[in-house]
Structure 1
């Protein structure tokens, strides 16, 4: 199996896991009527899920469109490692939200979750920017 196929399949599976976990992190029920904080929290989680899903799709299309040849094998190995790191960081966000929601008070959990979510997505976007350079190298390696 080509490394490109391996990277694409692993990325697609990890993306599905990420989106599934993030859907679990959504608020179970909003009170009636919801407070502005409840609405803001729901909006933030939905926005991060939407943007994360878009990023997952973007990288999957980049992987599928990038050429694969024997000369680029080392680049594909570097890409696989980088994509694994990005997904580990992204998947950790909903896991941390779920753990904090279950073990901390609502106010502290929301504050710490938002901080972790922002940091983890910032790290993932920064690393995604460096991965874009790898895709350019792979395309130039023809």
Structure 2
């Protein structure tokens, strides 16, 4: 009986350090999540830049498809709608001295909506990049098959 009470008291003594350890771990997890989002944003931005460079290269070489043009027009329309959504936020941020708590909540909701829209835009860009990668791979395979066929034709003749 005495051994069980000493083990319980030992557990009680260890509660404080364990609680401190778990609190520290959760703050580290929050920091790693923000770093992960930052890395994800940078990767998506780089992918978007590469996709735009590929698109401009294809436009200049004349190998431009109508599907890509449609997607590009959709992105331009989204960019226009995003710039109109950003303008009120920047205006209200400049007048922070006269803002009421209700205005803070509406501004916060607007910022959350803007964040959600940007997240959706990132996902759409990721899908566009994947589509372009698949299409590029298919075109490379087609070119390789045509090249191989041409070599077979020239060697047989």
TM-score of the superposed pair, with normalisation by structure 1: 0.44
Tell me which structure has the larger Cα radius of gyration: 2
TM-score of the superposed pair, with normalisation by structure 2: 0.40
